[in-house]
Amino acid sequence: MDHFEYRNGEMYAENVSISAIADDVGTPFYCYSTATLVRHYKVFTDALAGLPALVCYSVKANSNIAVIRTLAEQGAGVDVVSSGELTRALRAGVAPDRIVFSGVGKTGGEISHALKSGILQINVESEPELAMVNLVAGELNCIAPVAIRVNPDIDALTHDKISTGRKENKFGIEWTRVHEVVTEARELANVDITGLAMHIGSQLTDLEPFRDAFQRLRDVVAILSADGLIIQRLDLGGGLGIPYDGGIAPSPEDYGRLVREYFADLECELLFEPGRLIAGNAGILVTKVIYVKEGASRKFVIVDAAMNDLMRPALYGATHQIVPATEPSGDAALTDADVVGPVCETGDTFATGLALPPLNAGDYLIIRTAGAYGAVMASAYNSRALVPEVMVSGDAFQIIRHRMDIDAFLELEQIPDWLGGNAGEPKEAT
């Protein structure tokens, strides 16, 4: 469930008309619903009620500091994967002891930033990284709280580009070697192995891979415990999918029951890293029709949003529901059309053969389920502006990231001295 719905023939975000926002802000723009963010967070945490659980929102799904602050006020911690995300989390007001740092390529500087900030734990993904954490912690004269990320060699049955739990993926330490690595890590002077972490992929629409991975992780815990290596914390990652195209995805309640089945009897804290599940349906991308083009064999609805604004269809072949901001009448004649953007790539296509009512230039369209991996993956390809982000709460809305146009980017660029110098100012033709 989300809080985007038709009222009196117009799409609303909570109590605000999408068309009214579009008229004020201009298109394209992202719009996030506070009520939906809060609802999705509560549904997930309610499914874990009674467990010693800390839910750490995965910042990479949507890193706007207003989104992070909204969830932090509900009690969420966060999972970050870069120094930039850590800075965002701290700026949003997340307590350092509720922050987990994941990722396979943490630099010495990022590790130092994490340790100086006093975060809850660093999820280590390789032996060289473990050595680097020990080195940096030694230089800072502190003890680094570390969880070893386990690669369970489980196929998540999701898109290859977002599968992270197979042995051929770059993530984690092979599960058969975890005992050896943990044993050796106990000898490091500036590392405290506080737990294990695992994340097998994103957008899982079947619970069976979770079951297989949980069983493997439980086996690793048993092996370590038998050798006197006590695990205080288990980070079970995220990855629970959502229904982009109206399909079926596992419910948080079913996921919670599975977690209880495997871990309720263990005396350790459980961490979770949901991202898409919380933010995905809480956001939409609003775009405007530029032209309706009748091609030789296809009809094209050309809009002002493009693949640089929402990469998922081009990158993953992902499907998003697309609906008009004005509700079509029940007897509207539907015709098939491709919804495409203006970028000079055939891949700049949001939908093919989509049944749509009659549309005209200036009409607004809504691309749904765009709150996760939308704005965060955007680029300025074709020197296009980075679009605004808007947040709605009840009957109020506010821009939470302003449009970044070409002038903002040119301020960061510099013409070298041998070409006449001066940062981005036009040079007269000769």
Q: Quick check: 137 and 184 in contact, CB under 8 A?
A: no
Paired with 122 in beta bridges are 101, 146
For residue 91, give the nearest of 78, 81, 102 by alpha carbon: 78
Helices (H) and strands (E) in the chain, counts: 12, 21
34-278: CATH superfamily:
Alanine racemase (3.20.20.10)
Q: How is residue 320 written in tokens?
A: 């998003």
- Are the C-beta atoms of 233 and 39 separated by less than 8 Å? no
Whole-angstrom Cα distance, residue 267 to residue 116? 29
For 292, phi then psi, to 5°, come to -115, 115
DSSP state of 403: -
Determine the 3-state secondary structure of 224 from DSSP: helix
Q: Give exposure, 313-348, as e/b (b: 16+ Cβ within 10 Å).
A: bbeeebbbbbbbbbbbeeeeeeeebbbbbbbeeeeb
The secondary structure element, H or E, covering residue 315 is: helix 312-316
State residue 425's pLDDT score. 59
Q: Where in the chain is the domain with CATH 3.20.20.10?
A: 34-278
Q: Where are the alpha helices (DSSP H) in 151-194?
A: 178-185
Q: How many CB atoms lie within 10 A of CB 118?
A: 12
Grouping H, G, I as helix, E, B as strand and the rest as coil, residue 139 is helix
Note whether 158 and 204 are within 8 A (CB): yes
The boundaries of every CATH 2.40.37.10 domain in the chain are 4-31+280-410
Kindly report the backbone phi and psi dihedral angles of residue 328, in degrees, each rounded to the nearest multiple of 5, phi listed first.
-70, 150
Q: d(Cα 394, Cα 390) in Å, to the nearest integer?
A: 13
Q: Class of the 4-31+280-410 domain?
A: mainly beta
Answer yes or no: are the C-beta atoms of 367 and 305 closer than 8 Å. Answer: yes
Dihedral sign for Cα 308, 310, 314, 316, please.
positive
In whole angstroms, give the CA distance from residue 148 to residue 195: 7
Q: What local confidence, expressed as pLDDT, does residue 430 receive?
A: 46
Written as six digits, the tokens of 378 are: 């955007």
Give the pLDDT means over successive 10-residue stretches in the chain (430 positions): 93 98 98 98 97 98 98 98 98 98 96 98 96 98 96 66 55 87 93 94 88 92 90 94 82 96 94 97 98 94 98 92 94 94 96 96 98 97 97 98 94 93 58
Max CA-CA distance within the chain?
Answer: 79
Q: What whole-number distance in Å separates Cα of residue 410 and Cα of residue 423?
A: 7
Catalogue the active-site residues.
Answer: 344
Angstrom distance (rounded) from CA 358 to CA 11: 17
> Three-state SS for 394?
coil
CA angle, residues 332, 335, 336, in degrees to nearest 5: 145
